[in-house]
Amino acid sequence: MKKTALVIDLDRCIGCYSCEIACKNENKIDLGVQYNKVFTMGPTGSFPNLEMYYLPAVCQSCKNAPCVEVCPTGASYVDKDGVILVDSKKCIACMSCISACPYGARKFNEKQQYVEKCTMCSHLLNAGDQPACVKVCCAKARFFGDVNDPESKVSKIIKEAGSAARSLPDEGNHPATRYILHDKTAKWQNKKSWTFFENI
Amino acid sequence: MQHFKLNRRDFLKATAVAGTMASAGSLLGGSLVPGAEAATTDDTQIIRTNCRSCTADCGVLAHVKNGRVVKLDGDPDFSRSEGALCVKGLSGIQALYHPNRLKYPLKRVGLRGENKWKRISWEQAIDEIAHKLMEIRAKYGAESVFASTGGGGNPNFNGACRFCDTFDTPNWFEPGAAQCYMPRTLIYGMAYGDNKSYQGTDTSLGDSNGVELYFYNERNAKSLVMWGTAPAYSGPSQAGRVLAENRARGLKTVVIDPRFTPDASKADIWLPIRPGTDVALGLSWVRYIIANKLYDKDFLQRWSNLPYLVNTKTKMMLRGKELFKNADDKTFVVWDTKTNSAKPLPFPYDDNLDPALDGTFTINGEEYKTGFQLLKERAEPWTLQAAGKECWLEPKSIEKAILMFAKDAPSSIALGVATDQTPNSTQAAQVTAVLHILMGYFEKPGVLLQRYEDKGVGGLLRTTKLKSFLSEAQLHKRLGSVEHKGMLHWWIAQPTAILEAMTTGKPYKLKAWLERSGNKLGTVANASAWVEGMKNLDLIVHIFLYPTSFSAYSDYLLPATEWLESDFITASLNKCFSRKAVTHLYETANEAWIWAQIAKRCGELGHENCKRSFDKAQTAPESPYYNTYEEQLDHWTSFFGMTWKEYKDKTPFEFTPMERFRRYYVYKEINPKTGKVKGFNTGTGKVEGYMESLIILGRTGQPFTTYPLPPATKDYDPLPYYLKPSESPDNEVGKEYPLVMTNGRLPFWHHTTLRNIPYLREIKPYAELWVHPADAKKYGISQDDWVQIESMRGKIHARALVTEGIAKGVVYMERFWNPENLDTPTHGWQEMNVNVLSKQTAPFNDLCGTYTLRGYQVKISKAKEAPKGIWTEPKQFEPWMPQVSDKTKTVEI
Ligand code: SF4
Ligand code: SF4
Ligand code: SF4
Ligand code: SF4
C-alpha cells in the first residue's frame, strides 16, 4: 500500500517560513490555524557555543493513524495514496480525532465547524502537481513521496541518512514523516511527547 | 494573453469625472471602497512575472482568474530563485488586495495629522502639487524642494533623484544609501574598478551579487565569510537558498554577526562581534595575514597597487613621469629589490623587476613607502588579543576564522549591510576590499568578485539620474555633500543635513518634501526629530502603495502600483525576464509616470529644465521623461531593438550566451584596442588597496562630480581606519545606558513594508528585543515580558526574547511599526520603532556622512503593559484580509 509522507531535511532548512505561508495561501487557512508551522529549536548550549535548528511541524502521516481509528463517522480516512484526510461533509465536530492525535496536528475550523489538517495538498497531487510547501521551499529541504516504495526518492533519502533520519516519538501510531538532522548541524532534541498546536 | 492595459488618457478622463464625487474619509475603514465589479471571463491564466516585495526580482507564476490574482507559485525557470519564494513574495496577494491600500489620489482636508482626506482626480493632484512647487521655487529657490525614496522593492530607485535633477534641486535622500550599500558600492568601485555593466562586482549577497555561488554544482568556492549579512533572513529564496545549496556541497562558512542567525547556526565558526567594531576586527585580519605571510605575493606584485611608492608627506603615489622621461600616465614607481633602486613600472608589469612589498625608501631627499608598508603600519596595533578585547571575541576563534578565509581557498567575504550602519561604514568596506586584494581573490573560480558581463541589463535599464540637468550653482548647495563627497557617487544629500535645514532653516529653508516609499518614520534615525522638523514644511506629498505613519503628516497621498500591477524589465544571470502588470486596481499609477507628470506640469508652468526633460536630444545619453509609462518602457527596451510588448512576449531569453556572460580572469584578457591585458577599471589598472583616489575625491569631487567642488575640511584616508563607537559601554553614555543596541533583518519584511499583512503579523505580531539571559536577570526581565527600551533620544517598547543567541551586553531589535494604530495619536510609529532610539548626529563617516543605526547605547526595564491599541492575536488581523476590489480591469492585448 502507498504511504505518501513528507521528509524534511533539517540540515538544509533555514527557517524561512515559506512553507508555512505557502500552505496557508494554498489552502486558504484562517488566521490562527496552521497545517504546517515552523518551530525554532534552540538555541541550546551556552554562548557562544550554541546549536539551533528549525522544525517545520506538520501531520506525521501515521501508518497506524489514531485519528482515523477514533473517528465515529469515517470522516477521517486514508486515501489511495495513503494520505490522511478529513471529509468535511461527514465531520460532526466531535473532536475525538483532535484528542487522539499525539502531536496536535489537527485543528477545529470555527467558521466552517469541521476539523482540518494538512491534506498533503492532495488536490494538487491529483492534478499531477506537488504540495505547495514542497514547491516553494527555499532550501529545497522538503520532499514528499511513497515511503513504502524502496525506489522512491524519499525512501532513498531516509536510507542514506541512516541514524540521522529522525522521527517524532512513536506511541504505536507509527509516524511516517522523517526529519533528517545530522549532529554536525545540531543534536536532535528528543522529547517524550510533542504537541505542536494547542488543542482546544 | 489577457492583460490589463494602462491607457493613461482614458484613465485620466475617467478619474476626472470620479473626482467630482469627492468624499472625505479616514485612511482606515474602507469608506473609500466602492462595490465590487463583476467578473468578466472564466479562465485561469498563468502569467510569468517577477516579484518586487524586495529588490531580488524572484520568478513568479501568477495565477489570474477573471482578472483577479488567485495564486502565486515560484517560477522554476528563474535561475536565481529556482522556484523558491520567500514569505514577502508570497504575501503579494494579501498586499495587492489589502483593504487599506491607497486607491485614489487623496488630499488632506483636516489639519495635518488629523487624518481626514478627500478623493481628488490625478489631474487635480498633479496640478496642485506642481503649482505649489513652482510657488515655493519662486519664493525660496528650487533647493528648498527635496525628495526622497526608499526600499520596499522600489524598482525606479532613481525616480526621486531624476525628478530633483530636473527640478534643479540638489536635495534628495534615501534612508539607506550612506546607511545601506553606498559605502560598499563606493569603495568596491574604487578598489576593484568602475564596473557598471557587470554582475558580481561587490560582495553584497542582498544586492544580487555573489553570482558565482549560484553555480553551486561546480563546487568552486571552498569557504565563505558572511560578515554582517544574514541571507537566510534577508533573502531566503535567493542568497539564503544558494548558501544552503553550497553548504550541502561542503562549503565552509564563517559568520560574523552579533546575532545567532540561521546562517550562524549552520556556520563552522560564529564570531558574535560587538556591534560597531568591525574595522578593528578587519585590521586584525590584515595584520595576521601580513605577519604570517598568508597573502598572494605574486598577485600583489603584478595586479595590485600596493607595491607602488607613496610620498609619505603628500600621501600621493609617485608617478613614473616625476622620475623618468617618457613614462606614460599608467606608469608608477616601485622599489626593485634586484637592483635595489626605484624603477618605473609601466602597465601591466615588468617581469625583469621584483617590486618590494614593504619598505621605506628615500628618493631625491623625499621619503617614500609602499602602499603595502603603510597598510602594515596601519594594522600593526591590531593583534588578535587587541581585536578580541575591542570586539568582545575570543582571539582563538578570530584566528580560526582568518585561517579558514586564507587557507580554505578560494574564499571571499560577503559583506552585508551591518557595517554600513555605523560611522565606520566605508572603512569596513575598505578593510574587506583590502583583504580580498591581499589574498588575490579576484575573478578566480569560486570567488565572489567577478566581472560577469551583463551589458548593463542588471543595472542600467531603469530610471536613471539626469546629472547634466543639475546646474553648477545648485550642485554646490547639496546638503552635506561637499563635506561628504562619497555621496556624489549616488548623487545624493545627507539625511542629517536635510533634517538640520528643515528644522533650523540653515543653511537655507526647506519647504517641500516629495516622498516615495514606505514608512520613512521607521527608517530615519531619531524619527521624533523628523516629525518636529516636518512642521516647517509647506508641502508634503507621499507616494506609496498604502498609507503609513508618514502619510498622516502629509498633504497629498498618491497611490502607486503594487508589483502585480507593474511592468518592468528584469533579469536573472544571463537571461532577460519581465515583470508584468497582471491586473490593475483602482487608480494606482506607476511611480515613473507620477514623477514624469509632476515634471511635465511644472514645465507647463514655466520651469525650463522640466520642459527640456521631455526632449530626447537634451537628455541624451539618458532617457527623457515620457508622457506615458508605455513610451518609457519602449525607450528602455529599444536597447534590445524591441518594443516593450515585443520584449515582454519574447522573455525569457538569453541576452548573452553563458560563456560570454561568465568568464574568469577578465583582467588577464587582451584588450584589442591596446594589445595589452585589460587589467582593472581603476586609475592604475590594478586593484587598489592604497586608495589615493579617495584623497582626490575629497579634494575635487572627481570622478563623480559634474563641476569642480571645494575640498572637504580634511583629506579622506586612503587606508582603512577604526573609529571607536561614540556611544559605548566604556564611556560616559554607557554609564546611564549600559547596553549596545543592534539591528538586522527578519524574513517577514523588507525595510518597513508588510507590517499590514495578516499572515505575516500572525507569525510576528510585535517587535522582539533579544536579550541575553544574564542581562535579562540583571534588569528584572523574564521571557515574553513587555520591556521599555530607552536611548538618549527616546523610548519605545518591545517584548523580551531572552536568548543565548546574543552576546552579553548587546540587545537586538528589528524595525517595527503598527499600522493598526495609524488612526491614533501615535500614528503607529511611536510604539515599537527602534529608530526612535537611533542616532542621527555626529560623528559621521567622512566619505558618506553615515550616521549611527547600530551600535549605540540603550537601557532596558520591565514595562507595565503593552503599548496601547496594538494587535497581538491572530484573529485581530482579520480586518486586513483581502477583500473584493473594484476597478480590476482585464483587457485583451
Ligand atoms: S499526525 Fe495526527 S493527524 Fe496526522 S495522521 Fe498522525 S494522528 Fe492523524
Ligand atoms: S502538503 Fe500541503 S497541506 Fe500539507 S503542509 Fe504542505 S502545503 Fe500544507
Ligand atoms: S520552506 Fe523549507 S527552508 Fe523554509 S522553513 Fe520551510 S522547510 Fe525550512
Ligand atoms: S526575495 Fe522574496 S520579496 Fe524578494 S523578490 Fe524574492 S520572493 Fe520577492
For residue B22, what pLDDT band results from cuts at 50, 70 and 90? very low
Q: Please check whether residue B684 lies inside any domain of the structure.
A: no
For residue A195, what pLDDT band results from cuts at 50, 70 and 90? confident
- Indicate whether B604 and B476 sit together in one domain: yes
pLDDT beyond 50 at B15: no
Task: Give pLDDT tens digits for B719-745.
Answer: 999 999 999 999 999 999 999 999 999
Query: Across chain A, what does the average pLDDT equal?
Result: 95
Last residue of a domain, one of B635, B654, B673: B654
Residues of chain A in contact with residue B875, where contact means CB-CB under 8 angstroms, are 31-32
- Full residue range of the structural domain in which residue B252 is found: 182-291+382-439
Q: Please check whether residue B727 lies inside any domain of the structure.
A: no
- Indicate whether B639 and B554 sit together in one domain: yes
Residue among B641, B647, B655 nearest B574 (CA): B655
Q: What percent of chain B has pLDDT over 70?
A: 94
Q: Please check whether residue B494 lies inside any domain of the structure.
A: yes
- Indicate whether B138 and B228 sit together in one domain: no
- Indicate whether B414 and B392 sit together in one domain: yes
- Indicate whether B371 and B479 sit together in one domain: no
CA distances A113 to A92, A98, B673, Å, are: 8, 13, 76
State the Cα–Cα distance between residues B709 and B485, nearest whole angstrom: 9
DSSP state of B239: I
For residue B805, what pLDDT band results from cuts at 50, 70 and 90? very high
- Indicate whether B360 and B414 sit together in one domain: no
Q: Angle between the B425-439 and B182-191 helix axes, to the nearest 10 degrees?
A: 40
What pairing do the DSSP bridges indicate for beta strands B739-742 and A142-146? unpaired
Residues of chain B in contact with residue A127, where contact means CB-CB under 8 angstroms, are none
pLDDT at B154: 79
Q: With CB atoms and an 8 Å threshold, state whether B772 touches A47.
A: yes
Q: How far is A22 from chain B (nearest CA, A)?
A: 7
pLDDT at B9: 35
Q: What is the CATH number of the domain that holds B397?
A: 3.40.228.10
- Probe ligand 2: pick from A25, A30, A34, A35, max atoms within 8 Å of CB? A35
State the Cα–Cα distance between residues B853 and B834, nearest whole angstrom: 9
Task: Give pLDDT tens digits for A63-80.
Answer: 999 999 999 999 999 999
Set of cell numbers at residue B769: 528585543
Question: Which protein residue has the closest C-alpha to ligand 1 atom 7?
Answer: A101
pLDDT beyond 70 at B35: no
Ligand 3 atom having least distance to the Cα of A140: 2
Task: Give pLDDT tens digits for B81-116.
Answer: 999 999 999 999 999 999 999 999 999 999 998 889
pLDDT beyond 60 at B891: no
Q: Please check whether residue B853 lies inside any domain of the structure.
A: yes
> In this structure, are residues B699 and B708 in contact, taking their beta carbons and an 8 Å threshold?
no
- Indicate whether B819 and B842 sit together in one domain: yes
Q: Kindly give the distance from the C-alpha atom of residue B639 to the centroid of ligand 4, in angstroms, as a whole number.
A: 26
Q: What is the CATH number of the domain that holds B138?
A: 3.40.50.740
Task: Give pLDDT tens digits for B165-210.
Answer: 999 999 999 999 999 999 999 999 999 998 778 888 999 999 889 9
Question: Which protein residue has the closest C-alpha to ligand 1 atom 4?
Answer: A59
Q: Please check whether residue B623 lies inside any domain of the structure.
A: yes
- Indicate whether B161 and B261 sit together in one domain: no
Q: State how many domains chain B has.
A: 4
pLDDT at B885: 60
Last residue of a domain, one of B609, B627, B654: B654
Q: Please check whether residue B508 lies inside any domain of the structure.
A: yes
Q: What is the pTM of this model?
A: 0.95
Residues of chain B in contact with residue A32, where contact means CB-CB under 8 angstroms, are 762, 873-875
Q: Kindly give the distance from the C-alpha atom of residue A78 to the centroid of ligand 2, in angstroms, as a whole number.
A: 16
Q: Does domain A4-61+119-180 have CATH number 3.40.190.290?
A: no
pLDDT beyond 80 at A197: no
- Indicate whether B223 and B265 sit together in one domain: yes
pLDDT at B196: 78
Q: Please check whether residue B285 lies inside any domain of the structure.
A: yes
Q: CB within 6 Å of ligand 3 — which residues?
A: A 8, 13-19, 38, 54, 56, 137-139, 141-142
State the Cα–Cα distance between residues A56 and A65, nearest whole angstrom: 20
Q: Please, what sign has the CA dihedral across residues B310, B316, B318, B320?
A: positive
H-run or E-run covering B377 = helix B371-379
Beta bridge partners of B45: B64
- Indicate whether B467 and B388 sit together in one domain: no
Set of cell numbers at residue B809: 551586553
Set of cell numbers at residue A121: 495538498
pLDDT beyond 80 at B14: no
Last residue of a domain, one of B654, B670, B694: B654
Lowest mean per-residue pLDDT among A19-23, B88-92, B339-343, B582-586: B582-586
- Indicate whether B598 and B744 sit together in one domain: no
For residue B39, what pLDDT band results from cuts at 50, 70 and 90? very low
- Indicate whether B405 and B533 sit together in one domain: no
pLDDT at B796: 98
For residue B888, what pLDDT band results from cuts at 50, 70 and 90? low
Does residue B240 line the site of ligand 4, with CB under 6 A?
A: no
